[in-house]
Amino acid sequence: MISKETIDKVFEQSRVEEVIGEFVQLKKSGSNFKGLSPFSNEKTPSFVVSPVKQIWKDFSSGKGGNTVAFLMEHEHFTYPEAIKYLARKYNIEVEETKLSSFEIEKSSEKESLFIVSEYAKTFFKDTLINSSEGKSIGLSYFKERGFNDETIFSYDLGYLPEDVDYFSKNAIKNGYDPVFLEKSGLSIFKNEKPFDRFKGRVIFPIHSMSGRVLGFGARILNNQLKISKYLNSPESLIYNKSKILYGIYYAKQDIAKHDNCYIVEGYTDVIQLHQKGIKNVVSSSGTALTIDQITLIRRLTSNITMLFDGDKAGVDATLRGVDIILSAGLNVKICSFPIGEDPDSYCRGKSQEEIIGYLEKNSKDFIQYKASILAQTSKEDPILKSNTVNEIINSIARIPDRIKQEIYVKHCSTIMDVSEDVLFNALAQKTKNEIHSISKKRISKVHKIVSNKDLDLLFELEKKIIEILMLYGEKTEHFEELIIKNDKEGNVIFEPTVVKSLVYEKIFLDLQEDEIEFTNESFKIIYEKIISEFQDNGKLVLEVFLNKLDDELANSVTGILMNEEQYELHDWVGKNIFVKNKSQSVSQLVSETILSLRTYLINKKVNDLRDEIKVNKNNDKILEEINEYHKLKSLLYKKLNRVL
């Protein structure tokens, strides 16, 4: 585990503009930098980096955060990988806390397997390119498949000769422990004699999302031998085929950029499409899709397009995969290739434009695809048509989102010419839940809430308090406190008193005194975490604080801080919100925001009391209370220099 001291050094020394500048072309824009979003296709820059705040915000996708968040989003590093990357960049020694003997053993074994796998990758690659047998057999095979030198080198493709111990003998000679050669599955030992698992095969290294070699896939070239055409590494501490997608390391950025992931069956399908410029493609490596593999993709996109052969085996594999994708809450389309063709063979000799055109034209949503495939066998037979509809409903039932379910039921109704009521009843039986439609009354209520100007005002005020806390929370300011008193005539008056206070303490005490709670759930959580950070540490280091939030909250925080970079806010006066400009002091900003919030709450209380008058016969007491609130509001408006 990386020590806290190392993490603190990384955040102290790393510069967000320097780190992101290695991946995104940034141009100076005032005190900030701007560039094109690396997460979407756009022509107008909406990606903003703030050196002052040490954060970034992508307004096209809504993502944002600190340097670590960027590396985790863009490079898809884990948190420790991102920290280590920054440590290397800024020459910071990584200190790790002491592990237990068991953890040390496991960590050592895992690292040893990575080292052996990296050596094997280099050895196989070198054999392919530099040995006579590698060139004549392995390289010739890849060339016949249409792969160019750049592709072969980029994907670390390799070859291993027919000799039974060609690799094992060289590995042991170079000091690699036979124990880890065997645990990695690269070597098989019989009576202490090593045998190469992948002898006589071309090699496809399988990389993790961060680029480390986890295992290998290998294809036999002598088709007359009665052995498996493809052979994978056995399960190990670093290789679990159900949790790995071939090509994910090469595809991750393009999957996120295009917001879509193509899934194919084989290694060569991935490589062929990649060479044609379609890089957002991965393979399940011939195995049935698993929820772990879908989870990998879900980190990058919620849209999947399955590309499979048009034969029966390809169709069956597609239908099996659809349901597991839907159950994970992702959207899925399917594109079949002509009978006898797979993505690899179809793409050879065709241009990128032709391939993209075919994919766009022939990609169908799962209902259209399932209906077309199953309807081919059902024709006019009512029993078979019923089975087809049930197959589709089975798939829809796996979708966790009720809104999507309703949309797909309507879609199915149109395609299969079956009434929606019948389909909803069938779906209810499948899910064992009654499908409720939203009443018009509920819809109108929702619209009333969403469009309510008062709630919009409250949202802006709460957001402004969060912004003030993050930007100025640890500053000490002089505040003019307003002590409420009664004058000689019994009228309510304010008596000003100047006090010195930390900004976060002033806000905390004011909200606590008035028993004010945030109505926006995200703001409420962020507010509580900010106050805890100040109370525990006396300060808030933004880049460190962001790491303590989940992705959704971190995006909210960066959105608040970078809001003014996206566009100039307008009509604040109309919303009773006065934004701080350069001539205003922090204390003035804090005071006006709190006073605006208090005014809002008074107005709300007055409206509630007016509603109470309508149902209460004894109105004198209520009217008196309303009058007192009006006096208080009048004093607040005078303090805010506004007209009541």
Q: How confident is the model at residue 392 (pLDDT cuts 50, 70, 90)?
A: confident
Residue type, 361: K
Between strands 303-308 and 331-336, the pairing is parallel
Q: How high is the pLDDT of residue 134?
A: 94
CA distance 309 to 110: 37
- Residue 246 is given by DSSP the state B
Q: How high is the pLDDT of residue 96?
A: 74
Q: What is the mean pLDDT of residues 216-223?
A: 88
Q: Minimal CA–CA distance to 15: which of 64, 61, 70, 59?
A: 70
Note whether 546 and 69 are within 8 A (CB).
yes
pTM above 0.85, yes or no: no
Q: How high is the pLDDT of residue 431?
A: 63
Query: Which range among 202-206, 253-257, 301-305, 622-626 shows the weakest confidence by mean pLDDT?
Result: 622-626
Give the model confidence (pLDDT) of 283-335 as tens digits: 987 677 888 888 888 877 889 999 987 666 666 666 777 888 888 888 889 99
Q: How high is the pLDDT of residue 498?
A: 80
Coil, strand or helix: which one is 536? helix
Q: How high is the pLDDT of residue 120?
A: 95
Which strands make up the sheet holding 158-160, listed edge to edge? 158-160, 201-207, 213-220, 230-232
Count helices and strands in the chain by DSSP H and E runs: 29, 18
Query: Which range among 139-153, 183-197, 326-340, 363-377 shows the weakest confidence by mean pLDDT?
Result: 363-377
Q: Give the HSE-up count for residue 348: Cα atoms under 13 Å, Cβ half-sphere.
A: 13
> For residue 553, is pLDDT > 70?
yes
Q: What is the mean pLDDT of residues 107-112?
A: 78
User: Which of 163-167, 338-342, 420-424, 505-509 shows the highest mean pLDDT?
Assistant: 163-167
CA distance 544 to 557: 13
> For residue 482, is pLDDT > 70?
no
Q: How confident is the model at residue 493 (pLDDT cuts 50, 70, 90)?
A: low
CA distance 557 to 551: 10
Q: How high is the pLDDT of residue 488?
A: 66
Residue 337 CA: distances (Å) to CA of 198, 289, 387: 31, 19, 25
Q: How confident is the model at residue 639 (pLDDT cuts 50, 70, 90)?
A: low
Query: Which range among 118-127, 237-246, 629-638 shows the weakest confidence by mean pLDDT?
Result: 629-638
- Residue 136 is given by DSSP the state I
Could you tell me which residue, 455 or 459, shows the higher pLDDT? Answer: 459
CA angle 545/512/531 to nearest 5° reads 10
Backbone angles phi, psi at 48, to 5 degrees: -120, 135
Residue type, 499: V
Q: How high is the pLDDT of residue 64?
A: 87
Residue 121 CA: distances (Å) to CA of 177, 205, 220: 16, 7, 17
Which strands make up the sheet holding 47-50, listed edge to edge? 27-29, 32-35, 47-50, 55-58, 64-65
Q: How confident is the model at residue 187 (pLDDT cuts 50, 70, 90)?
A: very high
Query: Which range among 10-24, 197-211, 473-487, 568-582 shows the weakest confidence by mean pLDDT?
Result: 568-582
CA distance 134 to 473: 65
CA distance 221 to 243: 27
Six-digit token pair at 5?
Answer: 């001291």
> For residue 570, is pLDDT > 60?
no
> For residue 130, is pLDDT > 90?
yes
Q: How confident is the model at residue 119 (pLDDT cuts 50, 70, 90)?
A: very high
Tokens 């989870």 belong to residue: 295
> For residue 356, is pLDDT > 90?
yes
Q: How many CB atoms lie within 10 A of CB 16?
A: 23
List the beta bridge partners of residue 262: 281, 305
Q: What is the mean pLDDT of residues 125-154?
A: 94
Coil, strand or helix: which one is 545? helix
> For residue 517, is pLDDT > 50?
yes
**Residues making up the chain, counted from first to last:** 644
In this prediction, what percent of the chain has a pLDDT beyond 70? 79
Q: For the chain, first and last CA: distance in Å? A: 60
Q: What is the mean pLDDT of residues 437-452?
A: 34
In this prediction, what percent of the chain has a pLDDT beyond 90? 24
> For residue 395, is pLDDT > 60?
yes
Residue 351 CA: distances (Å) to CA of 91, 277, 339: 45, 9, 20
- Residue 631 makes CB contacts below 8 A (sequence gap 6+) with 491, 492
Q: What is the mean pLDDT of residues 437-463?
A: 51
Average pLDDT, the chain: 80
Q: Minimal CA–CA distance to 203: which of 214, 187, 218, 213?
A: 218
CA distance 372 to 366: 10
Tokens 């996708």 belong to residue: 61
